[in-house]
Structure 1
Amino acid sequence: MACLTVFGFALPAITAAQALAPYTVVGDGIPDSLTGAAGDAARGRALIVDRASTCILCHSGPFPEQKFQGDLAPSLAGAGSRWSVSQLRLRLVDASRLNPATIMPSYYRVDGLDRVGHAWRGKPILSAEQIEDILAYLATLRE
């Protein structure tokens, strides 16, 4: 699979065949899984600490093996206690819907974006499965 570079990190390119799954925003969240199934928390943690998703460039969290973690955004420690699964899903899919001035990327939105690299136009940064995997892990962070 081809890779694209974001902030210096290689991410697998999402193909047109991996088109966006439909979702519905209800209040401040997306209640239904993008894949119709729960994600895998172990894969989600691996995505976060591998820096492939760029999460720990801005966030810190319970990742003792990672010496350099971000401090631009809230710690991910306790994320599962602070937000519901539905709220976390919307934050991953399109945080700008909650805060138009956020610096957090819209990981699963492709329309209405500015300054998108040619290779990324019309493609999400993360797949629906990757979103659900990261979400599954974040939901376990209760303290």
Structure 2
Amino acid sequence: MLAERLAKSLPGAAVFLCRGQLRKTMQRCWHEYDALVCIMASGIVVRTLAPLIKDKRKDPAVVVCDEHGQFAVSLLSGHLGGANALAGRVAAITGGRAVITTASDVQGRTALDLWAQDLGLVVADRDGLSRAMGKLVNQGSVMLSSDYPLPQLPEDMRLH
């Protein structure tokens, strides 16, 4: 069974079989775990979790897999929540393919939110970050201004 195979390969994972209790089980898991791997149709996951979705910075990562493990789709909280990375791990375990749709990943650009997190920086202006990400993916680079010394910048970032 795919769920058991994933649970053995993902530290801290638990398997829940939802026979007739899907909504209740998924709601409980949403509040108790920082990531969910759902082996079912994405439409079921979307409809079940929709009322619970609040904030991509706080919601758990959600990855959806088909029953054969051919596709591991990063559905929610891709960057900061870790769903993109988790989809990659799941695909590596199953021999399938990670499906990542975030523009920065698709284009091979720096994910500014992850870059900031990796440096221990706090993003004070979330809207500004979204605008900067838009520029990065649409124009190929972004200018950065900082009063503090930074390590070498990724190729798609320039210091102002």
TM-score by length of 2: 0.22
TM-score by length of 1: 0.24
More strand by share: 2
More helix by share: 2
Larger radius of gyration between Structure 1 and Structure 2: 2
